[in-house]
Structure 1
Amino acid sequence: MSDTFAILYVCTGNMCRSPMAERMTRAALAARLGPDADRFTVYSAGTGTMDGRQMTTEAAAQVKAYAADPTGFVSAELTESHVGGADLVLAATRAHRSDVVTLDPGALRRTFTITEFARLAAALTDHAADRTTVAAPPELPAEPVERARALVAAAARARGTVRPARLDDDDIPDPIGQSVEVYEHVGAIIAEAVGVSVTALAGS
């Protein structure tokens, strides 16, 4: 088994949501893990894009607003090899999650929406959580990559047990062509989910 862990983010154009999540995650892992962050690969792709597009100016501004670096980003069209190389796939919406699993059915147990995984990860690592909906949190390894693998497996087993307040909460809206305020709203949703997920993946 590899001693590295790969996270793939997926949206449509790979110009707004998934690039924001990718770059915020890289920054959060570096802050949490220091040199061990190099053992985590974070990348993104789009279901309806082409290779080589730039992140939108508004998305780049949101990345900077959350102390992450948008420099050098270019889009990639989602391929089966992208999915096959990922230990965890996080999709912007339920439709993107379905697209990933259609492309690679074997990815089902490691594919979630961004907000779905954050919700599950929080419940699985919060020892004070309501145990009427989710089992007691597993004893996760201290070693970062082993911990990340164990958390993804636990999240797959717990899928459906911690439901969103509204089904739409598992879909992050597409801000492309929208106002700065919409980008700020989407950036805040992604930043919160990334923070929760990285905290759970990396441990304290």
Structure 2
Amino acid sequence: MRVLFVCHANLCRSPMAERLLRLAVDTRPGLADAGVTAASAGTHARPRHDMHPLAADVLREFGADPDGFASQPVHAGLLCEADLVLTAARAQRATCVTLAPAVLGRTFTLRQFARLAAAVDADQVRTAGPARRVAAIVGGVHEARAHAQPVPPDEDDVPDPVGGGPEEMQACAALIQAALHPLLVLLTGGSR
């Protein structure tokens, strides 16, 4: 499963999501050999910039490795290679599906995906088996989206911590980590 995280500049939110997912995959039983990869990009990113220093500091506090990161702009090819595209906010989601309309059914904001993934029947995903688990997860979340009650729009966005201090960056990382939890539960076949 190739997960692509997208934010505005690819300096804070999407790199933190990428590295927090990598940490979870490397440390959570049942995921180390699941073939899950994570990458990130930005709708307005300039190539090869370092991660925001506060984001790197927060990742270290969470036990994740920020080293070796380089920002990259999102493009249609990158989007089409991903099995799942998770954006920081609705604006980035709109940009992604405009760049690559074929990814519409597998593109969500991170918080939207988390909300919908919590409604997916873990047994249905588990019985799909490891090889078909990705399709079952994305299909289940896509189906849940069709039946979900609307929420206030800003509830689907991860607020941009740029301009804030360490506390805002830490709160952003904690929000991202919590939003990744339903995906991790489904990837491990429903085991908490």
Does the pair score TM above 0.5? yes
Distance 1:64 1:164 in 2: 36
CA contact (8 A) 1:28 1:195 kept: no
Q: CA deviation at 1:183?
A: 0.8
From 5, 10, 15, the counterpart of 1:9: 5
1:88–1:111 CA contact under 8 A, matched in 2: yes
Distance 1:72 1:163 in 2: 40
The number of residues matched between the two structures is 189
Moved over 6 A (4+): none
Q: 1:146-161 to 2 correspondence within 5 Å?
A: 146-161=132-147
Which deviates the most, 53-62 or 11-20?
Answer: 53-62
CA distance 1:28–1:176, change in 2 (3 Å): same
Q: Which residue in 1 is equivalent to 2:148?
A: 162
**Structure 2: gaps spanning 5 or more residues:** none
CA distance in 2, matches of 1:43, 1:120: 22
CA displacement, residues 65-107 of structure 1 (integer Å, 9 cap, x when unaligned): 2221111111011011110100000000011111100000110
User: What letter corresponds to residue 113 of structure 2 in structure 1?
Assistant: F
Q: 1:22–1:28: structure 2 CA closer, same or farther, 3 Å change rule?
A: same
- Output the amino acid matched with 1:140: R
Q: SS of the counterpart of 2:73?
A: coil
Counterpart residue identity of residue 118, structure 2: A
Question: Equivalents in 2 of 1:52, 1:146: separation in Å?
Answer: 34
For residues 29 and 109 of structure 1, do their structure 2 counterparts lie closer, same or farther at Cα, with a shift above 3 Å needed?
same
Give 5+ residue unaligned stretches, structure 1.
127-136
Equivalence for 1:117: 113
Alignment RMSD (CA, Å): 1.8
Counterpart selection for 1:36 from 33, 38, 48: 33
Task: Give me the identity figure in percent.
Answer: 41
For normalisation by structure 1, the TM-score amounts to 0.86
Q: Which amino acid aligns with 1:15?
A: L
Structure 1 residues 48, 104: closer, same or farther in 2, change over 3 A?
A: same
